[in-house]
Amino acid sequence: MGEVLFFVAGIGAVAGAIGVVAVRNPFYSVLALVSHLLCLAALFLLLRAEFVAAAQVVVYAGAVMVLYVFVVAYVGGRDEPLGPRAGSGLRAVSAIFGAALFLELCVATLGSGLQLIDSDGTPAPDSFGSPEEIGSLLLTKFLLPFEVASFLLLIAAVGAVVLARRRGGLTAVEEQARYSAMDILRPAYTGTMAEGVGGRHTLPEATVTNTPQEAEDAS
Amino acid sequence: MAIGWFLAVSALIFTIGAAGVLTRRSPLVILLCLELMLNAANLALIAFARMHANHDGQIFAVIVMVVAACEVTVGLGVIVAMHRRRLPIDVDEMQELQG
Residues of A in contact with B12 (CB under 8 A): 14, 17, 102
Helices (H) and strands (E) in chain B, counts: 3, 0
CATH of domain A1-80: 1.20.120.1200
Task: Name every residue whose Cβ is closer than 8 Å to that of residue B96 and which is 6 or more positions away in sequence.
Answer: none
Encode chain B (99 residues) as per-residue pLDDT tens digits.
788 889 999 999 999 999 998 888 888 999 999 999 999 999 999 999 998 888 899 999 999 999 999 999 999 988 888 888 777 777 777 766 654
Cα angle: B11, vertex B16, B17; to 5 degrees? 95
Cα A151 from Cα A157, distance rounded (Å): 10
Interface touch A98/B74, C-beta < 8 Å: no
Chain B hits for A157, CB-CB cut-off 8 Å, are 73
A164-191 confidence digits (pLDDT tens): 776 655 555 665 566 666 666 766 666 5
- Containing A15, the helix (H) or strand (E) segment is helix A2-22
A114 contacts chain B (CB < 8 A)? yes
Report how far residue A75's alpha carbon sits from residue A178's, in angstroms, rounded to the nearest whole number. Answer: 25
- In B, minimum Cα distance to A85 occurs at B92
Cβ–Cβ < 8 Å for A106, B70: no
What is the C-alpha to C-alpha distance for residues A198 and A188, in angstroms, rounded to an integer?
12
Flag whether residue B84 sits within 8 Å of chain A, measured between CB atoms. Answer: yes
| ipTM computed for the complex | 0.91
**Domains (ranges, CATH) in chain B?**
3-84 (1.10.287.3510)
Task: Report chain B residues whose CB lies below 8 A from the CB of A56.
Answer: 65
Q: Please, are residues A142 and B52 in contact by the beta-carbon 8 Å criterion? A: no
CA distances from residue B87 to A91, A175, A186 in whole angstroms, order as listed: 25, 26, 38
User: Taking a C-beta distance cutoff of 8 angstroms, is the pair A65, A33 a contact?
Assistant: yes
Query: Tell me, what's the pLDDT at B61?
Result: 94
B66 vs A64: CA distance, rounded Å: 11
Most A CBs within 10 A among B23, B56, B83, hence the mutation to make, goes to B23
How far apart CA B76 and CA A65 sit, in angstroms, is 11
CA distance A112 to chain B (A): 10
Nearest to B20 among A21, A120, A138 (CB): A21
Question: What is the least distance, in Å, from the CA of A107 to any CA of chain B?
Answer: 10
